[in-house]
Structure 1
Amino acid sequence: MRWVEPEILAELETELDGPELARGFARDYATLWDQRFSRLAASVQAEDRPDALDAVISMRITSAMVGGIRLASLAQALEDAIRRGDFVQGNALLAGVAEHGVRTVSELQANYILKND
């Protein structure tokens, strides 16, 4: 199972006129994963709808940009739960988001960031 779609990273390289900026973006994404997830988890657990929405939308968009389509899809499900005010479902989805995030970051590092450094 792939966690990162290389075609999307290739598109990002094209949009950014070369691989350097795309690799930098991917590197920053990987570096910030723990911080990004911690903020999301804390806001969902606190039932802070505005902060949770901000965190999950950021995660969904950036994950899609680096080819993490599975994670982006799960983040969309979490976003939908937050919009409905369903924090029970939101909390239930956090474990999956954490797992998908770790796997996405690992694959991104192994197959893109480190491979191209």
Structure 2
Amino acid sequence: MTAPDVPEEAGRLLPLVDPTALRVLAEDVGERSASSFARDFTRIWPRRREALAAALAGTDLTVALDAALSLRTSSTMVGATRLAALTEELERRLLADGPRAAAALVPAVNACGEQTVVELEECDGGAPPSAA
């Protein structure tokens, strides 16, 4: 049985990066720290991607949930709304149906993550947009 494509399709309606979230982060922690967080997000994306895939390949639900939660939280903080939504759906599938069902979303999460990294890098290396 294949997983439905509804969450992936719905996720395409969300922006890859919401600049408002980066502005809010800059207001909370300072522009330098927000820029550093965004750059770190792009720099460690390959490790997060691999950690999520490895966690879903295993049988430990706690490890898989931890990897998904880490990705969703950091995505939300940096304003990666589409990636956060996909990861939230992945978490739901983990809890409802286990790692194998959730693993069906990995290709969509990976593709979205790659696109998000490109967009963040194009935004001056992740610098939050200045308030108008």
Q: Same fold per TM (> 0.5)?
A: yes
Normalised by the length of structure 1, the TM-score is: 0.90
Q: Which has the higher helix share?
A: 1
Partner of 2:18: 5
User: Could you tell me how far apart the structure 1 residues matched to 2:89 and 2:28 are?
Assistant: 27
1:79-90 aligned at under 5 Å gives the runs 79-90=91-102
Question: Which one of the candidate residues 44, 60, 64 is aligned to 1:52?
Answer: 64
Question: Relative contact order (alpha carbons < 8 A, sep ≥ 6): 1 or 2 greater?
Answer: 2
Structure 1 residue ranges (4+ consecutive) displaced by more than 6 angstroms after TM superposition: none
Normalised by the length of structure 2, the TM-score is: 0.81
Counterpart residue identity of residue 55, structure 1? A
Please identify, of 82-91 and 92-101, the stretch whose mean Cα deviation from structure 2 is larger.
Answer: 82-91
**Once the two structures are superposed, what CA deviation does each residue of 1:56-112 show, in whole Å capped at 9, x if it has no partner?**
001001001001011000000001111124333211100000011001111011114
User: Could you tell me how far apart the structure 1 residues matched to 2:110 and 2:98 are?
Assistant: 19
**DSSP 3-state at the match of 2:59:** coil
Please identify, of 7-16 and 80-89, the stretch whose mean Cα deviation from structure 2 is larger.
Answer: 80-89
CA RMSD of superposed structures (Å): 1.7
CA 1:115–1:59: 2 relative to 1, 3 Å: closer
Number of positions where the alignment pairs a residue of Structure 1 with one of Structure 2: 115
Query: Are 2:64 and 1:64 equivalent residues in the alignment?
Result: no
Unaligned runs of 5+ in 1: none
Q: Report deviation, 1:115.
A: 6.4
% of aligned pairs identical? 35
Counterpart residue identity of residue 80, structure 1? R
